[in-house]
């Protein structure tokens, strides 16, 4: 129990604070065969996703579970390749599917957060140059505005892009995601294109649906150092480049900030910390510092992802408690946070790791599709219900 409150009856988090979890289309829906990741799996470059958790058909069951766990918010993504399977040709039946998803959330009293693009790209877009294509921002903005024009009455919060720098680095620096390239110059070019794509999409969305709130889901890393000048300088540069440069560019074109946070990077002697199944340090204090760093933007903030791969569910409960304690600390210092969404509601396809990493509050048997609530999900539920950590 944290000592942030004066007694166990004090609510640290205000009523109306949004609590929930998140998913992404390709990682949970199943049956998606016309995007770059499905194509890469066919030639053995990434694991096969296949039916995943069959969330496309079982979303109501999954939302019933979320509701039973006290969630009042949920983030999910729309699969671009479902909506626009061919360039300029849109599938209204898929719009209707996602409208059903939104209404299923709303009828359960769960606030939807909609991500318009979460890493996977339609095959036609990639074959025509992807985000290297000069017209890419226009094409992306057309897709985003098409979706919001049809679904903007069913959701208030939309995010254009999930983790733009993570995607760009995985695809064009490390080269372990489609299109499997390693080129720093292309990475910088793509980063600029994504900034332009968001800004144009924001303008188009606001033209047709000025009432919706638009942002991005930005992955920020806590960079820090010992007191050696060169390490302090490295930390400063990386914080500016990774955490701030994209947000600075779009600062006039976002209504809120979606924050994804998983790990820290210390320049200097590393700390001896417990690790997740991803071999990431468990360091809740990093989230507190990242939130303080976002205060200067004067935008409402929702944590859109924070989670742990923990197959045995031995560390997840304390991970959640520790990170929510950091949120509470930041709130007390005036950071305008209005929600926390754990990653992920379900075990899912974790990109190049396939189904081997278990982030879910809910365990999934991929052969039977049986869902099983993990004990840590009940710890999270208690925090939600009491409003304290």
Give the integer Cα–Cα distance in Å for 339 and 20: 8
Q: Containing H/E element for 58?
A: helix 55-68
| Residue 79 annotated to the active site | no
Residues 382 and 322 sit within 8 Å (Cβ to Cβ): no
Give the integer Cα–Cα distance in Å for 282 and 274: 6
State the burial class of residue 213 (Cβ atoms within 10 Å of its Cβ: 0-12, 13-18, 19+). Answer: middle
Beta strand 213-219 with 301-305 is: unpaired
Active-site hit among 305, 350, 363, 370: 305
Q: For residue 11, what are its two tokens?
A: 């609510």
Enumerate residues 6+ apart whose C-beta is below 8 A from 116. Answer: 77, 78, 80, 143, 144, 147, 148, 158, 159, 160, 161, 201
Residues 79 and 55 sit within 8 Å (Cβ to Cβ): no
| Residue 305 annotated to the active site | yes
Active-site hit among 29, 84, 163, 350: 163
Q: At what angle do helices 55-68 and 92-107 cross, to 10 degrees?
A: 10
Give the integer Cα–Cα distance in Å for 389 and 386: 8
Residues 85 and 59 sit within 8 Å (Cβ to Cβ): no
Beta strand 257-260 with 213-219 is: parallel
Residues 54 and 60 sit within 8 Å (Cβ to Cβ): no
How would DSSP label each residue in 223-244? EEE-S-HHHHHHHHHHIIIIII
C-alpha of 223 from chain center: 20
List residues with catalytic annotation.
163, 305
């Amino acid at each position: 129990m944290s000592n942030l409150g004066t007694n166990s009856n004090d609510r640290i988090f205000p009523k109306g604070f949004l609590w929930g979890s998140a998913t992404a289309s390709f990682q949970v829906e199943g049956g998606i065969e016309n995007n770059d990741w499905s194509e890469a799996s066919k030639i053995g470059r990434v694991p096969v996703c296949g039916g995943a958790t069959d969330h496309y058909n079982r979303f109501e069951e999954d939302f019933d579970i979320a509701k039973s766990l006290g969630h009042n918010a949920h983030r999910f993504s729309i699969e671009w390749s479902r909506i626009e399977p061919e360039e300029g040709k849109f599938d209204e039946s898929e719009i209707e599917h996602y409208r059903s998803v939104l209404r299923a959330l709303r009828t359960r009293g769960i606030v939807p957060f909609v991500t318009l693009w979460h890493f996977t790209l339609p095959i036609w877009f990639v074959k025509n140059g992807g985000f290297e294509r000069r017209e890419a921002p226009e094409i992306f903005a057309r897709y985003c505005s098409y979706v919001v024009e049809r679904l903007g009455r069913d959701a208030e919060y939309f995010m254009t892009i999930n983790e733009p720098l993570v995607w760009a680095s995985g695809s064009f620096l490390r080269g372990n995601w489609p299109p499997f390239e390693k080129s720093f110059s292309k990475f910088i070019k793509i980063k600029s294109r994504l900034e332009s794509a968001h800004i144009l999409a924001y303008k188009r969305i606001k033209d047709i649906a000025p009432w919706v709130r638009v942002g991005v889901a930005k992955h920020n890393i806590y960079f820090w150092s010992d007191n050696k000048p060169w390490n302090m300088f490295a930390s400063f540069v990386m914080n500016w480049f990774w955490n701030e440069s994209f947000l600075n560019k779009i600062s006039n074109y976002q209504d809120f900030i979606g924050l994804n946070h998983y790990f820290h990077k210390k320049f200097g002697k590393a700390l001896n910390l417990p690790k997740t199944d991803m071999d990431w340090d468990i360091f809740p204090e990093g989230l507190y510092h990242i939130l303080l760093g976002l205060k200067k933007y004067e935008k409402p903030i929702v944590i859109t992802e924070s989670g742990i791969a923990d197959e045995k569910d031995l560390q997840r409960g304390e991970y959640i408690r520790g990170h929510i304690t950091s949120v509470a600390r930041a709130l007390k210092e005036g950071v305008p946070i209005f929600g926390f969404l754990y990653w992920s509601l379900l075990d899912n396809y974790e990109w190049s790791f396939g189904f081997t990493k278990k982030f879910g509050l809910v365990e999934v048997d991929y052969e039977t599709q049986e869902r099983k609530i993990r004990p840590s999900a009940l710890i999270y539920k208690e925090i939600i219900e009491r409003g304290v950590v």
